[in-house]
Structure 1
Amino acid sequence: MRKFTFLRKKIQAKDRSLQENLVTKYFDDLQLNNQPVVDSNASFDSDSVYNRITESIDAMPGKSAGAGKKWMVAASLIAVASLSVLLYQYRLQVLDVVSPIAQKQIVAINGQVANLTLADGTKIWLNGGSKLSYPEAFRGDKREITLTGEAFLEVAHDTRKAFIVHTGNIKTQVLGTSFNVKAYPEDKFVKVDVATGKVGVVAPLAKTVFLLPAEEVLVNRKDNSATTSKGVDVSALTGWKNGDFIVKNMPLPDVLNAIYHRFNIEVKADPNLVKCSISANFTNVSLQNIIRIISKLVRGKAVADGAGYHLKGKGC
């Protein structure tokens, strides 16, 4: 580490007051309270911080040896002030190093619904085959979690801290509302349905889609295109968190995925059946009867396939 070169530059003025004026001007220009806050995603470059401090000090004029001690004190104060500003700008990164927040994870296996309450009071229900990663506490101006699978959220309202759900490279952002997010790995779309409040959904290089109650968006994971719908029966779509199993005009592949996550039983179907859509209330209906009903709706039959089933038939 190089030493501060406090006296490298000589001051031309002879009066002591010039030194004091220079120090005063430096602190006036500093405007500690008006320093911009850097992006929380920016990396903390300790070498850059140190260099900025030393450059600020080196740029100040020197003084004759007779005033050396007083000038050393002033320069030291400047160094401390510069460091304070930089630490303020990178305060969140510094806190993350000094006092890191523990990251937690909860998994709901297939056939299970899990629920939890986050540190801010947000309530989350996690559908079978889903995983949620979240911090033990929230720091800064954002509340961020990561979801794989499906979840229903009742977000605690906080206008100062946006709540963000990450599903791959797609973000769902709210301040305080309730909504459902479906983003299983096998899904070609990320689906968001709003129960209350207002939700913003954004994908890379795409405009933010804003949703109100009873509205839905399907974001194509391949090209980030978005398709919105209104008048959605959100209560039917989110009934899974209360043990209900209702499907309305749902494509057969999605129905079979829902069966897999609910019962942990895999059901396959012939290619000619994938265009069929199903509408039914399977709440409190046994798996065997659900398979029997679906077979009739697709004009086919179900045959045992190992531990699961295979649907065969003419199609819809």
Structure 2
Amino acid sequence: MAKFLFRKKQSVADDRQLQEELVNKYFDELDLRGAQNETGDDVEFNADRVYGRINAALDYAEKKTAGRSKKWMVAASIIAGFCISVTAAYYYRYALLDRFDPIASKQLVAANGQTVNFTLADGTKIWLNAGSKLTYPETFRGEKREIRLEGEAFLDVAHDPAKAFIIHTGKVRTQVLGTSFNIKAYANESFIKVDVLSGKVGVVTPAGKTKSTTTFLTPAEEVVFDKDKLSIVKNKQVDVSVLSRWKDGELMFKNMALPEVLNAINRHFNVTVKADVNLARCSITANFTNVSLENIMKIISKLVKGKAIQKGTVYQLKGRGC
């Protein structure tokens, strides 16, 4: 029985490999990008029909032939006889491969109070801050490397000029080829922020119902996207090395708005710190690395000219303001 199951699994694996070979052979041998029908018009690509024909070829080859080489010849001849005219159909190659052999999607989570570092299949190094989640494929296929982020991460992207690296954070898309940068996109904050340490980054943000705009960033530059107003602000001469110190276990802030500082403290210590509305415009510059939460609250209270009232694990900051 075990031997039978092994052969069955081996057969499935061989079929998957053959399917991928068929798809690649199909697109390699047909110049579909410039093809037209008899009237000279472009014809729509029908992925379902191609998918069905390839599967039919495999079934036919399985029944009529013995041996993998003969199976390949029969299947390839059937697929070669199926002509399609399309514009830019080359790009459907990967859509078909995803249909035949989907790549598993994985998640990496950093809970409050911890940071996580990880290396993707392409060699890209990622540090995930507290309260963040990363969704990524087990391996990258095609001409793009795409991941999804909720929260904050520092990325050192492996350079590959043939495959753009794309990070999706809600409605914002950040695209690079090879660079290092910090991206912050927590659901409970009204902004998405991208800061570049090295290389060049393109940040695509929505500018209306149907329009979008791309902002290019180079080292020491930052873009802040307001999720409510759909507006962007670009800042220069940003000390990215300081704001990304969290990946080394440090807790440093430089001219950072108090609400953003408190959110970082909440995630770092897994507590709840709130502040009165009149303190929202205060900014904080401080190094709280290896400082206890109690002492941090004392320092912040002095900076906002007020006090922190504690009720269990909840702190409420009150003061005159800055």
TM-score (norm 2): 0.75
239 and 79 in structure 1: CA distance in 2 versus 1, 3 angstrom threshold: closer
**Structure 2 portions without partners, runs of 5+:** 1-26, 35-43, 54-76
266 and 50 in structure 1: CA distance in 2 versus 1, 3 angstrom threshold: closer
**Identity over aligned pairs, percent:** 59
Query: 1:252–1:274: 8 Å Cα contact kept in structure 2?
Result: yes
Q: Which of residues 229, 234, 242 is equivalent to 2:235?
A: 229
Aligned-partner Cα distance in 2 for 1:136–1:44: 28
187 and 31 in structure 1: CA distance in 2 versus 1, 3 angstrom threshold: closer
Residue 36 (1) aligns with residue 42 (2): no
Aligned-partner Cα distance in 2 for 1:146–1:77: 39
Residue 107 (1) aligns with residue 104 (2): no
User: Which residue of structure 2 aligns with residue 216 of structure 1?
Assistant: 222
The Cα offsets for residues 198-237 of structure 1, whole Å up to 9 and x where unpaired, read as 0000013232100000000001112322101111011110
79 and 250 in structure 1: CA distance in 2 versus 1, 3 angstrom threshold: closer
Residue 255 (1) aligns with residue 261 (2): yes
Query: 1:206–1:224: 8 Å Cα contact kept in structure 2?
Result: no
Farther-moved stretch of structure 1 (42-51 vs 171-180) = 42-51
User: Which residue of structure 2 aligns with residue 82 of structure 1?
Assistant: 83
Aligned-partner Cα distance in 2 for 1:196–1:44: 42
Farther-moved stretch of structure 1 (100-109 vs 278-287) = 278-287
**Structure 1 portions without partners, runs of 5+:** 1-29, 52-75
SS of residue matched to 1:208: strand
Query: How many residue pairs were aligned?
Result: 260
Aligned-partner Cα distance in 2 for 1:291–1:271: 17
77 and 104 in structure 1: CA distance in 2 versus 1, 3 angstrom threshold: closer
Query: 1:44–1:90: 8 Å Cα contact kept in structure 2?
Result: no
User: Which residue of structure 2 aligns with residue 97 of structure 1?
Assistant: 99
Shift of 1:31: 10
Residue 281 (1) aligns with residue 287 (2): yes
Segments of 4+ moved more than 6 angstroms: 48-51, 76-79, 84-87
Query: 1:164–1:171: 8 Å Cα contact kept in structure 2?
Result: yes
Farther-moved stretch of structure 1 (140-149 vs 283-292) = 283-292
2:307 partner amino acid: K
Residue 245 (1) aligns with residue 251 (2): yes
SS of residue matched to 2:184: strand
291 and 95 in structure 1: CA distance in 2 versus 1, 3 angstrom threshold: same
The Cα offsets for residues 216-269 of structure 1, whole Å up to 9 and x where unpaired, read as 000111232210111101111000000111111111101100101111111011
Aligned-partner Cα distance in 2 for 1:289–1:89: 57
User: Which residue of structure 2 aligns with residue 10 of structure 1?
Assistant: none
Shift of 1:78: 9.5
The Cα offsets for residues 134-176 of structure 1, whole Å up to 9 and x where unpaired, read as 0000001000000000000000000000000000010000000
Residue 116 (1) aligns with residue 118 (2): yes
1:276 partner amino acid: C
Q: Which of residues 298, 301, 310 is equivalent to 1:292?
A: 298
Query: 1:145–1:164: 8 Å Cα contact kept in structure 2?
Result: yes
User: Which residue of structure 2 aligns with residue 200 of structure 1?
Assistant: 202
241 and 50 in structure 1: CA distance in 2 versus 1, 3 angstrom threshold: closer
Alignment of 1:144-163 (within 5 A): 144-163=146-165
89 and 279 in structure 1: CA distance in 2 versus 1, 3 angstrom threshold: closer
User: Which residue of structure 1 aligns with residue 273 of structure 2?
Assistant: 267
1:188 partner amino acid: S
Please provide the CA RMSD for this pair: 2.8
95 and 218 in structure 1: CA distance in 2 versus 1, 3 angstrom threshold: same
1:80 partner amino acid: G
44 and 151 in structure 1: CA distance in 2 versus 1, 3 angstrom threshold: farther
Query: 1:32–1:85: 8 Å Cα contact kept in structure 2?
Result: no
User: Which residue of structure 2 aligns with residue 27 of structure 1?
Assistant: none
The Cα offsets for residues 169-210 of structure 1, whole Å up to 9 and x where unpaired, read as 100000000000000001111100000000000013232100
Shift of 1:305: 2.2
User: Which residue of structure 1 aligns with residue 68 of structure 2?
Assistant: none
Aligned-partner Cα distance in 2 for 1:95–1:101: 9
SS of residue matched to 1:293: helix
36 and 84 in structure 1: CA distance in 2 versus 1, 3 angstrom threshold: closer
